Structure 1
Amino acid sequence: MLLAVFTPCMTDCWGNNKASIPVHLDKRAMHPLLSLCVFWLLPLALTLEEDSPLDCVPRRSVPYHRNNAHLFREEGVFNYSTMLLREDLNLLVLGAREAVFALDLKDISKKHASVKWEVTKQQEDECKNKGKDPETECKNYIRVLHKTEDSRMYVCGTNAFDPECDYMSYADGKLTLEKKGEDGKGKCPFDPFQRYASVMSENGLYSATSMNFLGSEPVLMRSAPDSIRTEFKSSWLNEPNFVSMTQMPESVSSEDGDDDKVYVFFSETAVECDCYNKLVVSRVARVCKGDLGGQRTLQKKWTSFLKARMDCPVLESQLPYIIQDMYLWCDPQKDWRDCLFFAVFTPQSDTSDLSAVCAYRVSDISRVFEEGKYKTPVPVETSFVKWVMYSGDVPFPRPGACINNAARKEGINRTLDLPDRTLQFIKDKPLMDQAIQPIEERPLLVRRGATFTRVIVTQAQAADGKKYHVIFVGTEEGTLLKAVNYDQEMFIIEEVQLFHPPEPIKSLKFSEVTGHIYAGSDYGAAQIPLATCNRSFSCMDCVLARDPYCGWDQVDRKCVFLSTSKKKVIQSVEDGDASACPDADPVKPVNRSIWPGRNLKLHCTAPSNLAKTAWERDSSPLTPAARFQFLRDGLLILNASDSDAGRYRCLSVERSKADEHSMAVAEYQVSIGPAGTGDGTLIFPRARVDGPSVAGLQVVVALLVVCLLALLAWNFYKGHLPLPWNCGKKVAQSQETHEQGSEKPLVLETDNGRSSNNHNRGEAAFNAEEEHNDQAVTLPTLKFIDDESDI
């Protein structure tokens, strides 16, 4: 029944013909075994998915260490998420919560200057009165940082849910705010945790955010010199989540006199889907920089706003993946049409933990907007509006197009001259029918695990003369992935932990001047080089890393950065062929001794996550047995005997596209000593704490505990066992009974003033009881005879 509901929803979303897909299922025609087959096939499907190449494992995992990167953090300051590279000043301008820092571009741990921009007590109180958290939301989060043409900086902050902008300058080692206090509505978000996008072009700020306090008026606008924005219509922007914005110089060498464009990437609730639940899709929209709005229709509104859906197909997922970040890469020696958009996508449901990186050609996106079909809303009998492909006549000039030579020939030199028919068309139909597909209609990188957050792409020229795109991806766990796609082979070179404790990476920047990548998070900022080749200590490890930035220097016998070495290096990035590597230096053996009948562990760790370890004894392969346990980090010898003495060697075996390569990692000379001797490195087997057997045992123990508790509760209820709070009473009664049945004789004693203190205390208690009674009765005192003197 779920299939019958879900399938027509998705076919409508993608604009396919519902009649071509048999989705109307008769429940009476479905055999009862069909449901059972689904449950049988589900584990098989999960198994196939687990063994799929999408489980891309980084070859090297680098744990957190202070030497991994240059770090910057100031006590009491958080949210280092806005970055501006001022390579002309050798600065990294870092925007945080209520502070802006000017850091050394070559070493960001060195702070040159800083300036505070804090909210006033009145602003904080007003924000608190509006229902916002004074400790987190009612602060000033720096969200906009751009360089102006006069070398100043334009900066905006959330300012306790009342956004404000200002100009900032750096001179004589100081950062200075001019305190002009410009209104930041539409330029900067109100909510510090809301996604936004902005770009500065010719002192004109293009921004995508919300216009009001509630965040219910999303807008894509240009603030200056001529203010212009989008319509407040769901067909234009429907609950968007803005991601990134960039500009393209499409007027350069344009044959038809085209205009420059501004592209904005975002996700929103799809209006074209007649789904029962809201479906989020990824979008790219563009506007022309020379757009001035219409004369009567669309006054001070974009006349060139067009948007299209972006697809990043992952495992033929039914629900589309959602864009989280975008990076524009252009070859300075090629035309703008050869530029590429690299985007990060994540699933919109909790049923998948895959993240992906897809690449798109700018020319493909431009072609959809210039030549593609439009979608149009069509009322149907039901309460919703259905969007279908528009097949009618398209007016001239083409709706959403920039002013070009063809329009100028018709006397249309500005958007103010556009006819109302064109303007009304784009006002009602801003959505394109065709979806934009990635290059080769597949992702460049897909990985299961930590969610992708940000992406940066560089280009490296390898030793073979070829150029490769190196993808750096930030994750929610504070790690940075470095990956390359070699002819549709997804290969992750390494994963480096940048922040501890783990914090999501919220910004990434790359500097061509320093060749470093800068990452920002709530905790702080980090700076790392493009490659750390010295992590490889051998030629084989250096070559198998397949890093286009690194190669093995045969003269210096070390792994070096390619651009800094003028000597011939060994490198094989596409195949990972390490056959050209010279023989490695022999491993120095370590002497170990063990008592007979005892256990010994020989440590060995593979230098790569893709490698497996193999053991040899006296140059012969060693196979796992009852007394030889192969562990992930070594070999465990159980119940050693004289025959176990010998030379043990651990090999790291790693397979690449070229061949299988092995390398000696550790070597031990093991001797069996007489009883009472040994080096003290004895190992006793430890209980296994993971795996299916242990999990089953834990379930059995849990069930036994539940049964025991139920049995106890039943015995308490039936009275077979005393309740805990009645135990004291029963113990007292049993003690009293025991004392009465003892052999000590009881005598009657009257108060004659010669009793001991203990007896007086007993009488005092008895007299207190007498005073409580209505009639005073004098009774002799009962007393145990403790010794002969009492007799």
Structure 2
Amino acid sequence: MLFLLILFLGGPAVLTSGRVWPLYGTPRKTVTLSSYGGHVFQEEGVWNYSTMLLREDMDVLILGARETIFALDLNNITNKKAMVKWEVIPDTQEICSLKGKTKETECQNYIRILHKMSDGRMYVCGTNAFNPTCDYMSYTHGNLSLESKHLEGKGKCPFDPFQRSTSEFVDGELYSATTLNFLGSEPVMMRSLNDSIRTEFSRSWLSEPSFIGMKHVAEGQKNPEGDDDKIYLFFSEAGLEYDSYKKMDVSRVARVCKGDLGGQRTLQKKWTSFLKARLDCPVSQTKLPFLIQDVFLYCPGDWSTCVFYGVFTPQTDMLQYSAVCTYRIQDIRDVFSKSKFKAMDSSSSRWVTYNGDVPEPRPGACINNNARQKKFFKSLDLPDKTLQFVKDKLLMDQAVEPSSKEPLLVKKGAAFTSIVVASTTALDGSIHQVMFIGTASGSVLKAVNYDEETVITEEVQLFAHSVPVKILRLSTTMGQLYAGSDVAAVQMPLSSCDHYTSCMDCVLARDPFCGWDLISNSCVAINSIQPDTHSEVVQSLRDGKASRCPAVESSTTIKFFYPGNMVSLLCEPGSNLAQVQWHVNGHPVENSNVYQIQHNTLLILKASDSDTGHYNCTSVETIKGVDYMTQSATYELRLGDFMTDPSVQPLVQEHQNTLLALKVLVIILTLMLLALVAWNFYKGYFAIPKCFNSDEESQQKTSGCQKPLQTGGRNSAASKACSSNSNNNHNRLSGNQHNGDQVF
């Protein structure tokens, strides 16, 4: 790899620029999906939510996953309107497994193609356990249904569910780029369904490609040259034009004409208009080309205004940067129509610039007015000389450069995976393109460019950090963004102005969707503002001026401390771009053996009496060289007193409450015990003794009898009876003792 870096230091693969990228890669805010008002959809046991089709005509999102297709409510995707299963039959799965593929993962049916047809039905294809199959699907009366046509899917849908592929449905024809065989060794770009046509199986045409995206541009509409519509293909492949001992990949853009029918003798049923060119996205201080990962077509007007947005990542793990580059449609057209061609030098087996004669009509050109004047009305009329030339020399010598000659955005961190672009009108009537960029860490970045300065207003975490964003789809009608991953699909609004809580926070965000309403004292959506109230709304996108915002008020917190203890004073920055500044009694605080600032928190290591006073924390954000205070907090540090310290008083109160509760518990238990004793006496379970009046009565307790106080009459009889019972008891006791001696 080091050899490659040295080898291409001065060659065409050197992608360097003098631009130094500062904090453009830092999102101003980092927020969660729930705080942004988003929704999450996932079905138990279903994985790989990576294919989406917006059916705004039916208010549903058609979501393709593994062996399942869903129809979800566009307003809230948690509302599942319908679903249909498309599972692999056991025999097909068994054959897949016997060919060495994993039954539990690879030998499933992954939905990879979803397109709307002119009759309202949908064309859907799945990998079907390495036996790609297509079908027609309808959504009627709230139900999804497959027609079970079992159409051939080879060349349309990939065999391997984890291999990159792309497709586009245009005027009843399916254009696709994938592999044509089980091993994935025959890459192809083809048109099927009606007039089938494809690329040649040649490394000069496609060399180990990774297909990224395909876009239709209606260049035939209102075209003064009478040109044809184009299908543009974006991919990366091995760069055969470079000499190296090791394969080096490059990014490409290729295109074909929609009306291409192939050649009459040469290139029969093959593209006669397939041309490709290198796609550059130069990043500072890097030598190897960055590789394209996704592309979005943005057309604010007719086809001549179209711009392609592409996200790029390095082809080596040594770098952790990603980039966004833009390409004007006219610049791409100029490369294909004006650039020289490359040709293979037979003596050196190297691709070199071709300086010989170019036949007419120009090889690879669509049928236009110039061709018609020469009696060429379709590709079947083209001469063999032109066709043989384009068959062997289809690579342009000139590369397609970004519209600004450098990336629109460069960010260090998680790799970019996907991109969509929305347009919105600001308060002053200017139109801005807002990029939503998916990352490998499961988040989406919201970024916008102002006069060659790109700012990332927010980063919204959609999935867990280890779950990459696989697909993004944009509905401008609904004002919603939809994203898919292996584990779930999510929905989030394009803007959430109400989570900006202050004027300073709202204006410094420089979000073209939002502005601060001085009347309602809230951050509001610009498209909801009445024209007559524009003067009361603050928005400054290019300059970030927040001078109309009221001053930030400081809140004071009284904090007590005890000598010898460490004191911690918290401070929250207003944004990821803000810097925290600490002052004590009006003097700036610096790290020392007394003070330490860690993660914006001020630590007083061993507080003493001299550390009492006022500590002020301010969050300062710098925009265009101007400092703005976004938050402020003041602490009044006092020497602690046990009775007055607010931090101690809650503990004291808690202790007193605990003692009171214990007292109440003891009283309750005592009353319960007394009630229990009284109940037992009432029921007679406890006997009340009657011989407690005198010593004489006490002595008679052993006999179980009370001696009468008077003699004669009934008392005398009772006395005798008592005496008799006493003697009998004595005799029984003596008898028992005697018997006891005999036993033992």
Superposition TM-score tier, normalisation by shorter sequence: 0.7 to 0.9
Q: CA deviation at 1:337?
A: 1.8
Aligned CA-pair RMSD: 2.2
SS at match of 1:643: helix
1:388-411: per-residue Cα shift (whole Å, max 9, x none)? 111111111111011111211222
Q: Which residue of 1 aligns with 2:46?
A: 77
Q: CA deviation at 1:379?
A: 1.1
The structure that has the greater radius of gyration is 2
Structure 1 residue 258 and structure 2 residue 227: aligned?
yes
| Paired residues of 2:155 and 2:179 also in contact (CA < 8 A) | yes
Q: 1:637 to 1:377 in 2, by over 3 A?
A: same
Q: Which amino acid aligns with 2:72?
A: L
Once residues 192 and 88 of structure 1 are traced to their aligned partners in structure 2, the CA distance between those partners, rounded to angstroms, is 29
Q: CA deviation at 1:624?
A: 4.1
1:592-621: per-residue Cα shift (whole Å, max 9, x none)? 211233222121111201111122344554
Q: 1:528 to 1:129 in 2, by over 3 A?
A: same
Q: Which residue of 1 aligns with 2:611?
A: 644
Once residues 274 and 347 of structure 1 are traced to their aligned partners in structure 2, the CA distance between those partners, rounded to angstroms, is 20
Q: Structure 1 residue aligned with 2:565, among 593, 598, 615?
A: 598
TM-score by length of 1: 0.78
1:89-143: per-residue Cα shift (whole Å, max 9, x none)? 0011000000000000011111100000000111111000000001110000000
Q: Structure 2 residue aligned with 1:359, among 326, 331, 336?
A: 326
Q: CA deviation at 1:576?
A: 1.4
Q: Structure 1 residue aligned with 2:583, among 616, 638, 646?
A: 616
Q: Which amino acid aligns with 2:562?
A: W
Q: CA deviation at 1:55?
A: 6.4
| Paired residues of 1:59 and 1:609 also in contact (CA < 8 A) | yes
SS at match of 1:407: helix
Q: CA deviation at 1:328?
A: 0.4
Q: CA deviation at 1:622?
A: 4.0
Moved more, 391-400 or 562-571: 562-571
Q: Which residue of 1 aligns with 2:540?
A: 572
Once residues 130 and 623 of structure 2 are traced to their aligned partners in structure 1, the CA distance between those partners, rounded to angstroms, is 54
Moved more, 564-573 or 305-314: 564-573
| Paired residues of 1:9 and 1:274 also in contact (CA < 8 A) | no
Once residues 675 and 599 of structure 1 are traced to their aligned partners in structure 2, the CA distance between those partners, rounded to angstroms, is 17
SS at match of 1:427: helix
| Paired residues of 1:595 and 1:675 also in contact (CA < 8 A) | no
| Paired residues of 2:561 and 2:567 also in contact (CA < 8 A) | yes
Q: CA deviation at 1:346?
A: 0.4
SS at match of 1:263: strand
| Paired residues of 1:9 and 1:275 also in contact (CA < 8 A) | no
Q: CA deviation at 1:270?
A: 1.1
Moved more, 389-398 or 147-156: 389-398
Once residues 107 and 305 of structure 2 are traced to their aligned partners in structure 1, the CA distance between those partners, rounded to angstroms, is 44
| Paired residues of 1:338 and 1:362 also in contact (CA < 8 A) | yes
SS at match of 2:477: coil
Q: CA deviation at 1:336?
A: 1.4
How does 1:710-749 map onto structure 2 within 5 Å?
none
Q: Which residue of 1 aligns with 2:385?
A: 421
| Paired residues of 1:15 and 1:388 also in contact (CA < 8 A) | no
Once residues 336 and 613 of structure 1 are traced to their aligned partners in structure 2, the CA distance between those partners, rounded to angstroms, is 48
SS at match of 2:254: strand
Q: 1:11 to 1:162 in 2, by over 3 A?
A: farther
TM-score by length of 2: 0.83
Q: Which amino acid aligns with 1:291?
A: D
| Paired residues of 1:9 and 1:276 also in contact (CA < 8 A) | no
SS at match of 1:190: coil
Q: 1:56 to 1:572 in 2, by over 3 A?
A: same
Q: Which residue of 2 aligns with 1:119?
A: 88
| Paired residues of 2:573 and 2:631 also in contact (CA < 8 A) | no
Q: Which residue of 2 aligns with 1:206?
A: 175
SS at match of 2:333: helix
Q: Which amino acid aligns with 1:467?
A: I
SS at match of 1:253: coil
How does 1:480-519 map onto structure 2 within 5 Å?
480-500=444-464, 502-519=466-483
Q: Which residue of 2 aligns with 1:781?
A: none
Q: Which residue of 1 aligns with 2:295?
A: 326
How does 1:302-381 map onto structure 2 within 5 Å?
302-332=271-301, 335-381=302-348
The unaligned stretches of length 5 or more in structure 2 are 650-744
Q: Which amino acid aligns with 2:549?
A: C
| Paired residues of 2:49 and 2:63 also in contact (CA < 8 A) | yes
How does 1:769-784 map onto structure 2 within 5 Å?
none
How does 1:153-164 map onto structure 2 within 5 Å?
153-164=122-133
1:215-268: per-residue Cα shift (whole Å, max 9, x none)? 010000000320000000111001110000011110111112111000000000
SS at match of 1:440: coil
Q: Which residue of 2 aligns with 1:776?
A: none
Structure 1 residue 194 and structure 2 residue 158: aligned?
no
Once residues 447 and 501 of structure 1 are traced to their aligned partners in structure 2, the CA distance between those partners, rounded to angstroms, is 17
Q: Which residue of 1 aligns with 2:713?
A: none
Q: CA deviation at 1:52?
A: 5.0
How does 1:658-673 map onto structure 2 within 5 Å?
658-673=625-640
Q: Which residue of 1 aligns with 2:412?
A: 448
Once residues 2 and 47 of structure 2 are traced to their aligned partners in structure 1, the CA distance between those partners, rounded to angstroms, is 46
- For these two proteins, the number of residue pairs brought into alignment is 643
How does 1:160-309 map onto structure 2 within 5 Å?
160-309=129-278
Q: 1:664 to 1:321 in 2, by over 3 A?
A: closer
Q: Which amino acid aligns with 1:321?
A: F
Q: Which residue of 1 aligns with 2:488?
A: 524
Q: Which amino acid aligns with 1:170?
A: Y
Once residues 468 and 501 of structure 1 are traced to their aligned partners in structure 2, the CA distance between those partners, rounded to angstroms, is 30
Moved more, 525-534 or 617-626: 617-626
Once residues 469 and 35 of structure 2 are traced to their aligned partners in structure 1, the CA distance between those partners, rounded to angstroms, is 17
Q: CA deviation at 1:673?
A: 2.1
1:538-590: per-residue Cα shift (whole Å, max 9, x none)? 11111111111111110111111111122331111112111111234x34422
Once residues 37 and 594 of structure 2 are traced to their aligned partners in structure 1, the CA distance between those partners, rounded to angstroms, is 40
Q: Which amino acid aligns with 2:382?
A: L
| Paired residues of 1:297 and 1:420 also in contact (CA < 8 A) | yes
| Paired residues of 1:321 and 1:348 also in contact (CA < 8 A) | yes
Percent of residue pairs bearing the same amino acid type: 53
Q: CA deviation at 1:629?
A: 2.1
Q: 1:66 to 1:119 in 2, by over 3 A?
A: farther
How does 1:558-569 map onto structure 2 within 5 Å?
558-566=522-530, 567-568=533-534, 569=537
Q: CA deviation at 1:641?
A: 2.8
Q: Structure 1 residue aligned with 2:430, among 455, 466, 470?
A: 466
| Paired residues of 2:14 and 2:287 also in contact (CA < 8 A) | no
Once residues 665 and 69 of structure 1 are traced to their aligned partners in structure 2, the CA distance between those partners, rounded to angstroms, is 30
